[in-house]
Amino acid sequence: MTPTRVEAVISYRTKRVNELIPIETKIRSAHELFQRADVWRGDHRIRTLLDTLQRAVEASRKAIQEVGIDALCRQCEVVEGGSCCGAGIEDRYDPVLLAINLLLGGTLPEVRNCAKGCFFLREIGCSLVIRHVLCVNYLCLKIQKALPLEALIRVQTATGTELDTAFLLQEAIKKHMNR
């Protein structure tokens, strides 16, 4: 059986090969995958993981906001003219993670907003509901120095739950696709 174009894109296992696929192709593949959403939601494990992930994303976003990380990032971008969300970060994303964004009610942009920024970076920050582990985990030295240890632990605990659940969901979807 010949794999579909979407399955061929997803079957790439190495980061290096994944980075060679244009983000626009991955976004198209994510939309094609999203067309299978009803089938995935019929799977109890996937449905449960989606619900758990939605709550985990809300908890991690709340923690990030309450400790002030979002304000520090916005100040860095707007006032200081820098951003950790540089062009090329989007290369790490795969169609399954992008399809999960659609499953969680997110949208995927069609064009880059800023030539120097990640494809998903918008005026209000990241346009994605669920982000790559690199994006979620990264805390620059400025943030690490600005926040007390308890705040950093709180955020990392919340984002850890998000990342663990996102990984389990990605694997469940890939397993479901291979049936």
Model pLDDT, residue 147: 95
Asked if the model's pLDDT at residue 163 lies above 90, the reply is yes
- Coil, strand or helix: which one is 86? strand
Please answer whether residues 170 and 99 qualify as being in contact, where contact means their C-beta atoms are separated by less than 8 angstroms: no
Tokens of 57: 């994303």
pLDDT band for 156, please (50, 70, 90 cuts): very high
- Based on the number of CB atoms within 10 Å of its own CB, is 38 exposed (0-12), middle (13-18) or buried (19 or more)? exposed
Tokens of 159: 């984002």
Which residues are bridge partners to 69 per DSSP? none
Enumerate residues 6+ apart whose C-beta is below 8 A from 34.
Answer: 99, 102, 103
Pick from 56, 90, 39: nearest CA to 165: 56
- Residue type at position 57: V
- Coil, strand or helix: which one is 37? helix
Domain of 46 in residue numbering reads as 5-177
pLDDT tens digits for range 60-109? 999 999 999 988 888 887 777 777 888 899 999 999 999 999 999 999 99
- Residue type at position 112: R
Rg of the Cα atoms in the chain:
17
- Coil, strand or helix: which one is 130? coil
pTM of the model: 0.86
144 phi and psi angles, rounded to 5 deg: -60, -35
Please answer whether residues 8 and 85 qualify as being in contact, where contact means their C-beta atoms are separated by less than 8 angstroms: no
Tally of domains in the chain: 1
Pick from 131, 120, 135, 125: nearest CA to 75: 125
Q: For the chain, what's the residue count?
A: 179
pLDDT tens digits for range 121-140? 988 788 999 999 999 999 99
